[in-house]
Structure 1
Amino acid sequence: MSITIRTFTEADTEAVLALWLDAFPEYNDASRPHRNPRLSIANKLGTQPELFFVAEQDGDGEQPTLVGTVMAGYDGHRGWLYSLAVAPPARRHGLGTRLVRHAEAALAALGCLKLNLQVLSDKPDVLAFYDALGYRADAVVSLGKRLAVMEPAAS
């Protein structure tokens, strides 16, 4: 399988949405408005778009097919990984590992020394994947708070 990993472009949007809706069933849950994949893409394009990567599989003379994604972020203190997804036919060929290593290298080049990620607790296969890559549970409690979208102030 010939794979190219490159930076996301807006032309990739529909293919990424299709992949994410397949890979992340929670994106189909209307009761979770914070899981809006179109908004995730728009937000990433506004913040470190150079850390949004896609993987394409060569199409034997046809258009390449988008088969993977990973987003990374770095705040100057810690890095984060988000939205690692691999299309089902491309799984078990090392593509997820390649995407993670690509994001790790990009973050390391920015001076990032510590990388975090979160995995839903009901996904033991995903936890096992990251464990095999050397990721370990930190002795911390992950806290979160949903913020309402703020309307611009009237002028």
Structure 2
Amino acid sequence: MPADIHLRTFDDSDTDAVIALWREAFPEYNRTDKPHREPRRSIANKVAMHDGLFFVAVRDRKVVGTVMAGYDGHRGWVYSLAVSSALRRRGVASALLRHAEVALAARGCLKLNLQVLTQSRGALAFYRAHGYAADDVVCLGKRLPVASTAAAAAP
């Protein structure tokens, strides 16, 4: 990783830069027909967890990479690992991934999961090179309706 890049915990002031980076790195985040991919909602939901597992890579005070992690006490997850196109293949993504792994291991996490779109061959190769492999499981998903803020806060 270039020496002029440092990793730190996400700060609310990073929101717009993270959204811009995600829209570059994840084209599906630009699709209005995919409300589960709305980056501002994802960031707000992650920040509301107050778990300190959202990290950014910064160069010259500009966000150039991100990784979110999660841990539920049973299994850890890695999400939204992204690096600006100008800095790819320079070790930034590897450093972010290791940073998330270390943070999760410090919490007692023993197993990590992540999901990669099947057509993302470069991402699949990256994760395989870092020791990740397909498990003998089927990933199932279900889209829930988007709740309004007031409805989500109701008991």
Q: What is the TM-score with the length of structure 2 in the denominator?
A: 0.92
The CA deviation string for residues 23-50 of structure 1, in whole angstroms up to 9 with x for no partner, is: 0000111111111000000000011440
2:131 equivalent to 1:134: yes
Asked if the contact 1:79–1:116 (Cα under 8 Å) also holds between the matched residues in 2, the reply is yes
Cα offset, 1:65, TM superposition: 1.6
2:26 equivalent to 1:24: yes
Q: Give the Cα separation in 2 of the matches to 1:150 and 1:39.
A: 11
The equivalent of 1:106 in structure 2 is 103
Cα offset, 1:154, TM superposition: 8.2
The equivalent of 1:83 in structure 2 is 80
Q: Give the Cα separation in 2 of the matches to 1:108 and 1:95.
A: 20
RMSD: 1.6
Consecutive unaligned residues in structure 2, runs of 5 or more: none
State the identity %: 61
Asked if the contact 1:27–1:36 (Cα under 8 Å) also holds between the matched residues in 2, the reply is yes
Q: What is the TM-score with the length of structure 1 in the denominator?
A: 0.92
The CA deviation string for residues 91-117 of structure 1, in whole angstroms up to 9 with x for no partner, is: 110110000000000000000000000
Pairs aligned (count):
150
Structure-to-structure mapping, 1:4-19, within 5 angstroms: 4-19=6-21
Consecutive unaligned residues in structure 1, runs of 5 or more: none
2:42 equivalent to 1:40: yes
Q: Give the Cα separation in 2 of the matches to 1:35 and 1:54.
A: 19
Structure-to-structure mapping, 1:56-71, within 5 angstroms: 56-57=58-59, 59=60, 64-71=61-68
> Which of 89, 94, 119 is matched with 1:92 structurally?
89
